[in-house]
Structure 1
Amino acid sequence: MHLAELNIGMFKYPTSDPRMAEFMDNLDRVNALAERSAGFVWRLKGDNNNATEMRIGDDMAVNLSVWENAKSLENYVFNTVHVQFYRKKEQWFGLMEKPHMVFWPVAEGHIPTLEEAWSRLQDLEKNGPSERAFGWAEVMDQERMRNLRCA
């Protein structure tokens, strides 16, 4: 099984606004890094090579991807240049009061749809973590358990 992830956010400004320039000017570089990262499988993108024009729910921007495992995703998020942008997310995105990230297992070769991802996020919000939809803490707990079994 692979790991699908959806991360949503509300842009504070239109993507053409100068206050979004640092984010927008680095999207191709950060996305290319993801695609070159060990364990990367797939990411949602439109004709502009990113997903900034796609929306879900109440006009939320989306990031939808599939990774071989949680360790690969964690390495990309926290051990590459991506972390520099992650730390600045409040400059470009409003604070979320509801869950804004969800993970779920997908069969190898399965490409999740936005509708599937939205359903998983709604499930997490309504029912809390489960095998169907879970958050980052549960992803890392699963990875720790897998490592213990392999040791």
Structure 2
Amino acid sequence: MTGQDYHLAQVNIGRLVAPKGDPRVQPFFDALDRINALAEASPGFIWRLKDEGGNATDIQYSPDPLLIPNMSVWADAESLFDFVYRSAHTPVMARRREFFERFQGAYQALWWIPAGTVPTVNDALSRLWLLDRFGPSADAFTFKSRFPKPGLAGPPQDLRPDPWCMGRA
């Protein structure tokens, strides 16, 4: 072990099928405050990207106004996994194809950061690029190929949910 503690940063981006205010994406926006509050109350949650309005959907980081970011930091991969796949977030996420276009390339990345670090959108975009360009590594990975914290040995681990267990927790 390195003596330094690490937290897990995550980014996911998506391109909305319609602008905010359009009925096709309104259910996503209607659920946003509830899901953000759920994340913040979840065990292991540390930080999430948000603007003055309390979410990240109005943060413009690309020329495309329909491309929106989501970033957060968690104590560990298991905490993030539990929020994503074993909470009220899961049914909303299951509807993502209604609200977001299919994305070409990496749209989600995980990476370890020293505890107390707040990642920037540019940090996150660089991790997506690394994952897209080179595949999973200790610098950018996925739930399917999760790398251990720095200083810990071991192969990547698969934390994807077992489809037979979904909804049975």
Q: Distance in 1 between matches of 2:126 and 2:54?
A: 24
Q: Distance in 1 between matches of 2:63 and 2:136?
A: 22
Task: Tell me which residue corresponds to 1:147.
Answer: none
Task: Tell me which residue corresponds to 1:93.
Answer: 100
Task: Tell me which residue corresponds to 2:110.
Answer: 103
Instruction: Letter of the 2:46 partner, please give it.
Output: V
Moved more, 49-58 or 111-120: 49-58
The 8 Å contact of residues 70 and 143 in structure 1, kept in 2 or not, is answered as: no
Is residue 30 of structure 2 the alignment partner of residue 25 of structure 1?
A: yes
What's the CA shift string for 1:38-86, capped at 9, x where partnerless?
0000000001100011244463210000000111011111111100111
Is residue 44 of structure 2 the alignment partner of residue 39 of structure 1?
A: yes
The 8 Å contact of residues 110 and 141 in structure 2, kept in 1 or not, is answered as: yes
Q: Distance in 2 between matches of 1:53 and 1:94?
A: 18
| Equivalent runs, 1:111-130 vs 2, <5 Å | 111-130=118-137
- What's the offset of the Cα at 1:131? 1.0
Instruction: Letter of the 1:64 partner, please give it.
Output: M
Q: Distance in 2 between matches of 1:119 and 1:56?
A: 13
Q: Distance in 1 between matches of 2:118 and 2:50?
A: 12
**Cα distance change on mapping 1:143 and 1:89 into 2, 3 Å:** closer
TM-score when normalising by structure 2: 0.80
Instruction: Letter of the 1:78 partner, please give it.
Output: Y
Q: Which has the higher helix share?
A: 1
List gaps (5 residues or longer) in structure 2. 1-5, 148-155, 160-169
TM-score when normalising by structure 1: 0.90
Q: Distance in 1 between matches of 2:97 and 2:158?
A: 28
Is residue 20 of structure 2 the alignment partner of residue 15 of structure 1?
A: yes
Task: Tell me which residue corresponds to 2:139.
Answer: 132
Task: Tell me which residue corresponds to 1:2.
Answer: 7
Percent of pairs identical after alignment? 39
The 8 Å contact of residues 35 and 89 in structure 2, kept in 1 or not, is answered as: yes
Instruction: Letter of the 1:2 partner, please give it.
Output: H
Three-state SS of the structure 2 residue aligned to 1:18 is coil
The 8 Å contact of residues 144 and 158 in structure 2, kept in 1 or not, is answered as: no
Three-state SS of the structure 2 residue aligned to 1:29 is helix
Task: Tell me which residue corresponds to 1:71.
Answer: 78
What's the CA shift string for 1:108-141, capped at 9, x where partnerless?
0000000111011111111111111112212284
List gaps (5 residues or longer) in structure 1. 145-151
- What's the offset of the Cα at 1:97? 2.1
